[in-house]
């Protein structure tokens, strides 16, 4: 059979099976839901190291040990954030407003999984979907089809052993664009959970189905003169180097306040940052992006030494990040865009107001609605950034990679970060199980209706017979006139 046709048929069969399983799972008790989710989280956590290696080997992206940490986050940390969430029956009661809220699942969810974080995203999406009593079908990226399926299988087997119906979790194995489209557009698919490149997210939104899609991140880091410079240097380099910059909330450009810029540079060098010469910057610029503006996938998620070698120059073995000094933003400077690899832009500004302007320009270049990072001790400056930036995550004195996903902050643990309406998404939240269920509301009367609402009032009179006759005659005259003209 033709591969595309086989993929389409697999998607259809998966949705049919998931729909039948969901009819059973939608009636599960909270106890059963939590028992199944706990079993899946534990199984995922135990498999984190193996699947981290599998993801790195299959995709060639990132660092296996860092992928292990992301897998642990996508299983254990995500489950801990969901453990106490009510998703069955009455979930809230407001006696003052006489409102009763009842959870109701969505149905079958189609989940697109990226190649940059394939196994951790699979864990995360399965947990939040099943916790909300949905069925879920994963559509892997072709470059990560095997490891994504392995992650889904771990969850699938654990769920079934704990009593979940067979078919509640599935993962496409015959991966194609046509199969993914068939999955997303199937009449029994209730919602699409899209994490991946811009083309796939646009495709999800174009199906006519409800969709949670996330935009790209082009995260600026402003380091103010009031900042803890040592911490800013240490965190920025470590975060940018983490898994070779494959998380969308990773730092993309540092904006250094000029009074502390030299010291920040020196401290970042001590942490493993290599500041490129103009010639080396130009070499990176030429190889990192394609003529159409897209990123060269051969350099996605690669160590700094690999990127430098690809660009034609050598760096010491201890280098973790390549930092390119820049003075332009936008289409005239490709390196001001998102760089899913160990390349970091560098700008210097005079004061936080100019830092604010640079941040907004970078966000407008490709990270609308996503994330901004600020290192500062001056609360006035911090609040100014929080109020003015067109993003929905402002991280203060913490790293982008792990802060935005909720590992080092109080944000909801998530591997799907909404960018809000400004970024083309339906929400700016960190997506979780609460987004994957509807709420029914029982509303009791609080007050009697106004007296006027109970009175019949004056009923408008209809048209008079002579008015109807005149209107009919006018219509007939227009018809006859049009025929005589033709």
Written as six digits, the tokens of 444 are: 């009791």
Quote helix, strand, coil % in the chain, to nearest 5.
50, 20, 35
User: Are 195 and 209 spatial neighbours (Cβ–Cβ below 8 Å)?
Assistant: no
Kindly list the distances between the CA atom of residue 209 and the CA atoms of 110, 131, 194, 301, in Å, as whole numbers in the listed order: 10, 21, 12, 32
Cβ atoms within 10 Å of 473's Cβ, excluding its own = 10
In sequence order, what E strands does 198-301 have? 211-213, 219-223, 251-257, 273-275
Q: Specify the residue for token string 């095997």.
A: 146
- In sequence order, the 6+-apart residues with CB closer than 8 A to the CB of 245 are 301, 339, 340, 341, 342, 343
User: Are 414 and 405 spatial neighbours (Cβ–Cβ below 8 Å)?
Assistant: yes
- In sequence order, the 6+-apart residues with CB closer than 8 A to the CB of 2 are none
Cβ atoms within 10 Å of 8's Cβ, excluding its own = 20
The catalytic position among 147, 171, 244, 248 is: 248
Q: Is 248 a catalytic residue?
A: yes
Buried b (16+ CB within 10 A) or exposed e, 306-318: bbbebbebebeee
User: Are 66 and 165 spatial neighbours (Cβ–Cβ below 8 Å)?
Assistant: no
Distance CA 429, CA 435 (A): 9
User: Are 329 and 361 spatial neighbours (Cβ–Cβ below 8 Å)?
Assistant: yes
Catalytic residues: 248
């Amino acid at each position: 059979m033709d591969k595309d046709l086989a993929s389409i048929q697999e998607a259809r069969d998966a949705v049919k099976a998931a729909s039948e399983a969901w009819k059973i799972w939608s009636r599960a008790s909270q106890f059963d839901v939590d028992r199944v989710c706990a079993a899946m989280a534990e199984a995922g956590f135990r498999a984190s190291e193996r699947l981290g290696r599998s993801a790195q080997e299959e995709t060639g992206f990132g660092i296996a040990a860092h992928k292990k940490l992301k897998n642990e986050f996508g299983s254990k940390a995500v489950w801990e954030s969901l453990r106490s969430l009510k998703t069955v029956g009455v979930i809230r009661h407001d006696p003052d407003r006489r409102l009763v809220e009842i959870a109701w699942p969505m149905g079958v969810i189609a989940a697109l999984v990226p190649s940059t974080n394939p196994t951790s995203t699979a864990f995360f999406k399965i947990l939040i979907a099943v916790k909300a009593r949905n069925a879920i079908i994963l559509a892997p990226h072709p470059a990560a089809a095997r490891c994504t399926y392995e992650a889904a299988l771990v969850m699938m087997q654990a769920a079934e052993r704990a009593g979940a119906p067979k078919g509640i979790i599935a993962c496409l194995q015959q991966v194609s664009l046509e199969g993914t489209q068939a999955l997303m557009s199937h009449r029994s698919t209730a919602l699409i959970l899209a994490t991946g490149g811009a083309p796939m997210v646009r495709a999800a939104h174009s199906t006519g189905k409800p969709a949670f899609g996330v935009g790209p991140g082009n995260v600026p880091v402003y380091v103010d003169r009031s900042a803890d410079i040592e911490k800013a240097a240490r965190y920025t380099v470590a975060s940018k180097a983490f898994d070779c910059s494959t998380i969308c909330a990773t730092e993309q450009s540092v904006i250094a306040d000029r009074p502390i810029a030299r010291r920040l540079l020196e401290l970042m060098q001590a942490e493993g940052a290599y500041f490129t010469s103009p010639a080396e910057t130009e070499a990176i610029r030429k190889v990192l992006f394609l003529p159409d503006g897209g990123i060269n996938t051969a350099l996605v998620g690669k160590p700094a030494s690999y990127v430098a070698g690809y660009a034609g120059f050598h760096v010491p073995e201890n280098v973790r990040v390549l930092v390119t000094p820049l003075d332009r933003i936008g289409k005239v400077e490709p390196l001001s865009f998102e760089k899913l690899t160990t390349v970091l832009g560098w700008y210097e500004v005079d004061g936080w107001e100019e830092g604010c302007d640079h941040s907004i320009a970078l966000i407008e270049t490709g990270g609308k609605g996503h994330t901004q990072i600020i290192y500062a001790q001056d609360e006035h400056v911090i609040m100014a950034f929080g109020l003015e930036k067109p993003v929905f995550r402002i991280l203060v004195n913490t790293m982008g990679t792990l802060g935005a996903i909720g590992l080092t902050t109080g944000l909801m643990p998530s591997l799907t970060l909404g960018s809000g309406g400004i970024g083309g998404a339906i929400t700016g939240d960190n997506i979780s199980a609460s987004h994957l269920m509807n709420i029914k509301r029982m509303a009791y009367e609080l007050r009697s209706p106004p007296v006027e609402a109970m009175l019949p009032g004056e009923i408008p009179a209809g048209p008079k017979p002579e008015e109807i006759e005149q209107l009919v005659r006018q219509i007939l005259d227009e018809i006859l006139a049009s025929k005589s003209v033709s």
